[in-house]
Amino acid sequence: MNKWKRLKSELAYDSKFFKVRKDLVELPSGEQKKWTYWDSPDSAMVLGMTQDKKLVMIKQYRYMADDEVIEFPSGYNHGAETIEAGAQREFEEETVYSCSSLSPLGTFYETYGQLNRKIHLFFADNVVRMEQKIDSGDYVPEDIEVVLVDFKEAVDMAVKNKIVAMGSALAILLLKEKLK
């Protein structure tokens, strides 16, 4: 397939947390089109598992869904940290667990028609509970409840659409395949 050619790109909106870009692109047919999208840094998600095969998940209210959702801890990188360092930091900030090593599970685009962010998925087994205050968030207070979910139950929840966070549902199914 032929690629689109970016002719021009401008910043349409800039905030501390995300940018919106407006590009002028040329399609393979020669037609020019405006394309607006959310320009975001990559983020990382950690599937942490305890020794007794419980997944460390979080439950929190999400404004855009107007509901409480169960998901895995995730977030974007700060400054020059590696994606792995950002993943570990976010996991520790949003839960009361630490992980000493991460295994890559995969990378995917969230909604690639509107957003250029990749989410990097990592698995950490034998996570350890630590004494740490849960992160209050850097722009909105994060009212987070840490939830330990049995691995088989989490797979069932993903299959039955009880986990509506797209990345978290996909991550569980990828982990299921990895652990076979």
* Domain spans, the chain: 5-39, 43-179
Higher pLDDT, 78 or 124: 124
- Bridge partner residues of 122 (DSSP): 46, 104
**Region 80-89: what's the mean pLDDT?**
91
pTM across the whole model: 0.86
Closest Cα partner for 54 from 149, 132, 130, 118?
Answer: 149
Say yes or no to pLDDT of 140 above 70: no
Please give the CATH architecture assigned to the domain spanning 43-179: Alpha-Beta Complex (3.90)
Q: Could you give the CA distance from residue 121 to residue 165 in angstroms, rounded to a whole number?
A: 14
